[in-house]
Amino acid sequence: MHRREFLRQGTIATVTGSAIINGLYMNSLFGNSSGIPINIDIPSPYLSKLIVKPVITAMYHTSVWEGPCRWKGETQEQELKAAENQFNYFKKFVSSDKIDKSIVTVLEPGQVFFVEDFKIKEEEYKKIEEDAKKADVLLINPYGCSISNFEVASRYKKPVVISSGPSCRTVDVAAFCRSRGIECYIPDEVEDINQIFTLLKARKNFSETRILFPTDWKWPSVCSIAGINEPEKLREMFGIELVTISYEELSREMDRIRSDNDMKQEAVKMADTVYGGASRSFIEKKYVTNSMEFYQTVVSLMKQHNCNSFTIECFEFCTSRLPQKWGITPCLIHTMLKDMGIPSACEGDLGGLLPMHMLMLLSNKSPHFGNMFYYPEMGKGTMAVNHSVPGIKMNGYNKPGLPYQLSHFTDSGFGTKVIVDFMNNDVKDITVARMNPDGTGILVLKGTLVDSKGWDDETIGCHDIAYMVGKDSGTAREYVRKQADYGNHLPWVYGDYSEQLVKLGKLLNINVEVVS
């Protein structure tokens, strides 16, 4: 199956619609005992599952004979009984914990028959037709014969995952499918079935991205000109939509939120939770409340425009004077959205936002994101990433958050930002990624965290810094040299996901270059 066709079909392949973030509580993010509900029901690309239709083909003969393809003549009843047993075995496999149901929704398994003419009749296809069209992926048990499995794959033109490992039949089916432009995957000891599903899910989720971008300037962003500046190309290449709104609309919604007494009370309660969970705060609580009002505004606009990702150009936003009027900066909002699996990046930089999204999908972790600085005098050459937008859920969305502090971005005291001590974590392996301005390549650092700065420090502006080097080389020199072809802002997550990024890049027709 061609990638573009998968992207087109994947955006409509749902069972009950896009997964909705609900039932989340502020304390689950900020470690406070109060249970203030999060005001969010944005369709999340992170939670949208891969829809899988299991299919098994089976052959029976119309009479009994023996020959080169049939070394033991059995009656039709015997063959149908054997097919029934195989189907039951397949259903048990599909319902077992061998398939991770947190990443896939498995539809009812179907069985199609054919006889010695090797042709599947229309009445057999009707048994699986509705689900097969609805699915993102076909999970095929190749019990029948090679040609029947190919015919099923060819009819629906969906990616195929074979349910069993390498064998004479599975490699035969896979090779022929691939030669005809149909994706076909065989699980093995190197890449098991759930790893394959994870990659296909990540591609589907990536294609479902709709980015909300408040801007009057549009692109290129004034201080991140190496981002991806052609929205039409994003749509054509990946299926991604960029939704721009005016500052007038942003201001109108913020005014509405701030004049709504119920929303104001909720913002105060949310601020209490955020403030109460911090191990230390250098900011007045009233400014955290301001940030919660801006958060409510952004979420409301994302819902209105059916978006599941966010960015705003900090420099353009600053010159509008709206941040000073409202007593906010976007920093805390970026942290909160990322911690809920919603990609959110600074400065309108899509070249940082999109690989951030890929890292989030593959790792199930919240990332940090920031400017690159290079210090050749530190060790063999050390790179720093600095913005005040760390994740708190950097060890995983379903794991406890990292300890955090709160501080202020501006000298006058407003602009809530989170501070995390990146070194205060058992994991030191990291993965960094950056997409080039054409959207055709990603530069990855397979790295090691060596230091951090910002904790217990009231320095204003961006000041939550991670220092890193290549894991194998002990230097970041080669990576920063290559950034001249890719651009500035760098998202990173804990753990090594470089190999998965290479594989996901292949599915998306993106060249992934790994430096270590």
List pLDDT tens digits, range 414-456: 999 999 999 999 999 999 999 999 999 999 999 999 999 999 9
Residue 501 pLDDT exceeds 60:
yes
DSSP 43: B
Predicted confidence band of residue 10 (pLDDT cuts 50, 70, 90): very low
Q: What is the DSSP track for 488-513?
A: S-EEEEES--HHHHHHHHHHTT-EEE
* Among 507, 407, 516, 411, residue whose Cα is nearest residue 464: 407
Per-residue pLDDT at 29:
60
Per-residue pLDDT at 227:
81
List pLDDT tens digits, range 21-78: 444 455 566 654 444 445 556 666 777 899 999 999 998 878 887 878 777 878 889 9
- Specify whether the backbone of 405 is left (phi greater than 0), alpha (psi in -120 to 50) or beta: beta
Could you tell me which residues come within 8 angstroms of residue 340 by beta carbon, excluding any fewer than 6 positions away? 21, 24, 29, 38, 40, 44, 397
Per-residue pLDDT at 65:
76
Contact yes or no for 479/381 (Cβ under 8 A): no
* Distance, CA of 267 to CA of 417 (rounded, Å): 16
Predicted confidence band of residue 222 (pLDDT cuts 50, 70, 90): confident
Residue 375 pLDDT exceeds 90:
yes
Asked whether the bond before 109 is cis by omega within 30 degrees of 0, the reply is: no
Q: Evaluate the CA torsion angle 457, 394, 368, 340 in order and state its sign.
A: negative
Across 7-16, 100-109, 171-180, 251-260, least confident range = 7-16
The SS3 call for residue 327 is: coil
Per-residue pLDDT at 27:
56
- Domain residue extents for the chain: 3-48+208-515, 50-202
Averaged pLDDT of the chain: 90
Residue 202 pLDDT exceeds 70:
yes
pTM above 0.85, yes or no: yes
Look at 117 and 332; give whichever has higher pLDDT.
332
Alpha helix segments (H runs only) across 105-145: 122-125, 129-134
Per-residue pLDDT at 366:
95
Q: What is the mean pLDDT of residues 321-332?
A: 97
Q: What is the DSSP track for 71-82?
A: SS---HHHHHHH
Look at 138 and 340; give whichever has higher pLDDT.
138
Per-residue pLDDT at 7:
44
Residue 367 pLDDT exceeds 60:
yes
Across 14-28, 274-288, 324-338, least confident range = 14-28
